[in-house]
């Protein structure tokens, strides 16, 4: 496994990030533990989760699975760089009340204590803001984070789904307080969705944040979806189905699969390998539902794409171009 430094921190993290979103909704506790064991044995040391994962009536279940895995000891927690998130309400829809969500100091304080309990640990390496909060000022957010850092309950703060200007606002506010600020940004970024190249990734690079792309296969669109349909396998759903309904997108995906067939490459592994070539990217998040899916993701780290393939991929899925020229579109 390859390792890199996370932004401007001293943390050494794996070039793949284990996403745990499927633990609970699609993968039971025993299988989740098996995947985490396999990931750690392969050298993946960066695990990502969120307090709301488990979803619906089962919010928090994913963190609980990770906590029960840590409780088996064997150095599991010590070998893991643990990231979780705060923002969404943890209550049932009928039981919401003011201050039970978003990034108020009160919710941050309550949320971190609840996550620590579910995760069965006394600290979180990277505590991430799951979305921007348009109402809470960053002065309040950083005051709450500063308290948690001083208490030893978190080490760093990160963001998720932030636009470039919010990354700048957050870190400028932190700098005025003498704080490190955000150290990572999780953003939607893949071959089929490259708008992060316009502002988010340049802002992250300017402020020294590690970039952690989520949905590297764009909901399965880049995982050989047309081939699977043709072979009678799982049909596209969700984001992938919506995208394939557009003839232009379907044509690009077909060209993508044809290109990889020509070069003897697997679509999912290629999409991950492409992200690993992108400037500023620390490592994409992979969310395996089975050990076999994890094994496929691991092969991507060793895959070297030729210049011919990289050029062809840019032709099929052109990016927006360099900023600020991209804004002339």
Exposure on the CB side of residue 153, measured as CA atoms within 13 A = 19
Spatial separation of the C-alpha atoms in residues 129 and 181, rounded to whole Å: 12
Spatial separation of the C-alpha atoms in residues 189 and 211, rounded to whole Å: 10
pLDDT in tens, 55-112: 999 999 999 999 999 999 999 999 999 999 999 999 877 677 888 899 999 999 999 9
Rg (CA), the chain: 20
- pLDDT given at position 289: 93
Q: Please give the DSSP secondary-structure letter assigned to residue 328.
A: G
Task: Tokens 């998720």: give the residue.
Answer: 160
Task: Tokens 């080490």: give the residue.
Answer: 155
pLDDT in tens, 272-300: 999 999 999 999 999 999 999 999 999 99
Spatial separation of the C-alpha atoms in residues 80 and 249, rounded to whole Å: 38
Q: Which residues, given as ranges, of the chain have pLDDT below 70? A: 94, 233-236, 328-329
- pLDDT given at position 240: 81
Using DSSP, how many helices (H) and how many strands (E) does the chain show?
Answer: 12, 10
Asked if omega into 68 is within 30° of 0 (cis), the reply is no
DSSP E strands, 90-138: 124-129
Q: Are 136 and 83 in contact (CB under 8 A)?
A: no
Q: Going from the N-terminus, what domains does the chain have, and what CATH number goes with each?
A: 3-219+268-328 (3.20.20.100)
Pairing of strands 12-14, 3-5: antiparallel
Catalytic positions, written as ranges = 53
């Amino acid at each position: 496994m390859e390792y890199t430094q996370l932004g401007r921190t001293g943390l050494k993290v794996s070039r793949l990030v284990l996403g745990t979103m499927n633990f609970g909704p699609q993968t039971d506790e025993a299988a989740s533990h098996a995947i985490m064991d396999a990931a750690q044995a392969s050298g993946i040391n960066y695990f990502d989760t969120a307090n709301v994962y488990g979803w619906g009536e089962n919010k928090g279940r994913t963190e609980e699975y990770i906590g029960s895995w840590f409780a088996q000891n064997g150095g599991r927690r010590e070998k893991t760089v643990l990231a979780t998130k705060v923002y969404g309400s943890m209550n049932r829809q009928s039981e919401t009340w003011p201050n039970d969500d978003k990034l108020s100091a009160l919710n941050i304080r309550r949320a971190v204590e609840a996550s620590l309990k579910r995760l069965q640990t006394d600290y979180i390496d990277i505590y991430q803001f799951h979305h921007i909060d348009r109402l809470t000022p960053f002065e309040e957010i950083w005051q709450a984070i500063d308290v948690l850092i001083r208490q030893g309950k978190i080490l760093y703060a990160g963001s998720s789904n932030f636009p470039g200007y919010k990354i700048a606002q957050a870190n400028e506010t932190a700098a005025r307080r003498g704080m490190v600020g955000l150290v990572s940004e999780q953003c939607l970024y893949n071959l089929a969705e490259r708008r992060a190249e316009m502002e988010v990734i340049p802002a992250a690079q300017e402020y020294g944040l590690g970039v952690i792309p989520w949905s590297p296969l764009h909901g399965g669109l880049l995982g050989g979806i047309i081939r699977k349909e043709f072979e009678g396998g799982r049909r596209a759903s969700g984001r992938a189905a919506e995208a394939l309904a557009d003839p232009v997108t379907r044509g690009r995906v077909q060209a993508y699969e044809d290109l990889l067939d020509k070069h003897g490459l697997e679509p999912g592994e290629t999409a991950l390998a492409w992200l690993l070539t992108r400037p500023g990217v620390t490592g994409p998040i992979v969310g395996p539902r089975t050990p076999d899916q994890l094994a496929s993701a691991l092969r991507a780290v060793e895959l070297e794409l030729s210049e011919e393939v990289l050029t062809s991929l840019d032709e099929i899925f052109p990016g927006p171009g360099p900023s600020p020229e991209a804004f002339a579109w």
